[in-house]
Amino acid sequence: MMKVHGRWSAPLWLDLIVLVCGALALAGCRGQNFLSRERLSKREEALQLIAEGKQLEREGSPLLALERYDRSAQLNSTPDAWYRMGHVFELQGESPKAATAYQRSLELAPDYQDARLAILALGYTPAGAPPSKDDLARAEQWAAKHNVELAAARAVKTPDASSSGTLEEQRQAREQALTEAQSKRQPTPAEIQAALFSTERDKEKLPSATKPVYASDQDVILGTYPYHYQKAESYRSHRQWDKAAEEYQSAIQADPKQLQAHLDLGDMMRRMERYERARIYYEQSMEDFPASPRPLLKLGNYYQDLKQPDHAREFFHKALEKDPKYVEAYNNLAVLDMQEKKYVEAAKLLDEIIKLDPKYSNAYLNRGIIAGDIEHNRDLELQCFRKYVELKGARKDEVTKWIEDLKGQ
CA distance 136 to 150: 20
CA distance 327 to 242: 30
Residue 3: DSSP 8-state = E
Q: Are 296 and 286 in contact (CB under 8 A)?
A: yes
Same fold, 179-270 and 291-409: yes
Q: Which CATH number fits domain 40-155: 1.25.40.10, 3.30.450.20, 1.10.10.10, 3.90.1580.10?
A: 1.25.40.10
Q: What is the pLDDT of residue 358?
A: 93
Beta carbons within 10 angstroms of residue 276's beta carbon: 11
3-state secondary structure 252-296: HHHCCCCHHHHHHHHHHHHHCCCHHHHHHHHHHHHHHCCCCCHHH
Residue 185: DSSP 8-state = P
Weakly modelled stretches of the chain, pLDDT under 50:
1-37, 157-164, 182, 185, 199-220
CA distance 311 to 396: 31
Contacts of 236 (CB under 8 A, 6+ apart): 244, 264, 268
Residue 1: DSSP 8-state = -
The packing angle between helices 294-305 and 259-271, to 10°, is: 0
Please state, rounded to an integer, the average pLDDT across all residues of the chain: 77
Q: Are 265 and 277 in contact (CB under 8 A)?
A: no
Q: What is the pLDDT of residue 200?
A: 44
Q: Which CATH number fits domain 179-270: 3.30.70, 1.10.3470, 1.25.40, 3.40.50?
A: 1.25.40
Q: What is the pLDDT of residue 373?
A: 92
Q: What is the pLDDT of residue 165?
A: 53
Q: What is the pLDDT of residue 302?
A: 93
Supply angle C-alpha 242, 247, 250, rounded to 5: 130
Q: Which fold has domain 291-409?
A: 1.25.40
Q: What is the pLDDT of residue 98?
A: 86
Q: How distant is the alpha carbon of residue 109 from its chain centre? A: 29
Q: Are 63 and 84 in contact (CB under 8 A)?
A: no
Domain-by-domain residue ranges, the chain?
40-155, 179-270, 291-409
Q: How distant is the alpha carbon of residue 335 from its chain centre? A: 24
